[in-house]
Amino acid sequence: MKTLIVALGSPYGDDAIAWLCLDFLRQQSGLGLDYVLFKSKGNGLDWMQALASVDQLIFMDAVIGDKELGKIHLLRESALPTQASMFQSSSHQIPLDQSINIARNLGYLSKHARVWILSIEIKRDSRLVLNANKQKQVFSQVWSMISPLR
């Protein structure tokens, strides 16, 4: 099963955590050749370039949450907030639910492809990217969550 993992983020602060997770995954020989890894640089559409006959799409992103720094939530596509229920995070760009729909409507993404979202919790007043131990835990959790999705 071919899987595309898209890390959404930037080089800045805790927004970089999904990119760091992708760098970690890239170093894991156990990941296999069926995985395509892509760093999305934030315009909401660039990940479509990496789509080629994938059966599964996994987005990783930092989210501000109220549980625990570094806690990971595995969400199905249906759990994505829609435009009607949230303020757009960057409205010049296309919200994630819409860009997934565009990819499906244009035939870039199979109608049957599964979509997952790995949300990594960050806080406004702490720095996950500066906490090596926490990061190790996050990498380990990401690996353990992605492995069963093969």
Task: Decide whether 49 or 144 has the Cβ nearer to other proteins.
Answer: 49
Task: Decide whether 9 or 70 has the Cβ nearer to other proteins.
Answer: 9
Shortest reach from residue 103's CB to other proteins, in Å: 9
Shortest reach from residue 47's CB to other proteins, in Å: 11
Considering only residues 81 to 120 of the shown chain, the ones binding other proteins according to CB under 8 A are 83-84, 87-88, 90-94, 98-99, 101-102, 105-107
Our finding on whether 43 is near other proteins (CB under 8 A) is yes
Contacts of 8 (CB under 8 A, 6+ apart): 18, 40, 42, 59, 60, 61, 62, 96
Task: Decide whether 36 or 74 has the Cβ nearer to other proteins.
Answer: 36
Question: Which of 107, 100, 102, 121 lies closest to 57 in space, CA to CA?
Answer: 100
Shortest reach from residue 102's CB to other proteins, in Å: 5
Our finding on whether 38 is near other proteins (CB under 8 A) is no
Question: Which of 4, 72, 10 lies closest to 41 in space, CA to CA?
Answer: 10
Contacts of 27-36 spanning 24+ positions with Cβ under 8 A: 28/143, 32/150, 34/1, 34/2, 34/3, 34/150, 35/2, 35/3, 35/4, 35/5, 36/2, 36/3, 36/4, 36/5
Size of the site for other proteins (CB under 8 A): 24
Our finding on whether 42 is near other proteins (CB under 8 A) is yes
Contact footprint for other proteins (CB under 8 A): 10, 41-43, 45-46, 48-49, 83-84, 87-88, 90-94, 98-99, 101-102, 105-107
